[in-house]
Amino acid sequence: MSKSKLIAGNWKMNASLEGSAALVRGVLDGLAQAQPACDVAMCAPAPYLAALQGWLAGQSAVQPGAQDVSAHASGAYTGEVSADMLRDFGVRYCIVGHSERRQYHGETDELVAAKTQRALAAGITPIVCVGETLAERDGGHTEEVVRRQLAAVIHVNGHCITEVVVAYEPVWAIGTGKTATPELAQQVHAALRAQLRAASDHADRIRLLYGGSMNAANAASLLSQPDIDGGLIGGASLKAADFLAIVAAAR
């Protein structure tokens, strides 16, 4: 079935409040000149979500997103941010299980599945990240790893798996300037699609994004692949011109 692509910017822990405001203005100005053919989201650091809600008010071209969510609904979890809190600030998308969270914060497949469940319960679309390290890739374990990561999410959320966005982000290509070839990325996306089809009769409506140094130069070739439905954009999302070029390539 036909579905619109999704380009989601992940600012990570970058920019200032002033710089973020300028970035949003630049993107909105660019989109006003050429309406996007895809859905667009900006995933900001939690302290900027209130400001992001204001910057994006009164328009529909860009949706606000968050970078993480707690696996708990509420309670004595100092420093955590619940899904209901994110919803209060108009958050439409939330990145879950980014490789940096898995690597630096010890997030397990089970925790990622629980966070996915919390986001869905709050009416927020989780962008669930899966991906292999360089050692796992060199060992020939790419599909095994991403299937395991996705299986945990399907196990807990299978009844509403069609509400999830999945992002394949090879860890070795994040922030390194290295990018999977369009053919390699498509191969992994096809494996993920097959796994989702085994879990749901409506798997073709699930958007699969590629994340891992997608930029203005390579976006078109990656986005032309049959099972790549958009991108989760890191560094290139911090420059309005670069981000807009990727959005323009998503048709």
- What is the spatial distance between Cα 141 and Cα 167, in angstroms, rounded to a whole number? 18
Q: Which amino acid is at 227?
A: D
- What is the spatial distance between Cα 86 and Cα 49, in angstroms, rounded to a whole number? 8
Catalytic-residue membership of 141: no
Identify the active-site residue in 98, 100, 107, 132.
98
Q: Which amino acid is at 231?
A: G
Catalytic-residue membership of 98: yes
Nearest to 92 by CA among 110, 114, 69, 108: 69
- What is the spatial distance between Cα 142 and Cα 158, in angstroms, rounded to a whole number? 23
Identify the active-site residue in 100, 132, 169, 189.
169
Q: Which residues of 109-141 are buried (b: 16+ CB within 10 A; e: fewer)?
A: bebbbbbbbbbbebebbbbbbbbbbeebbeeee
Q: Which amino acid is at 224?
A: S
What residues act catalytically? 98, 169
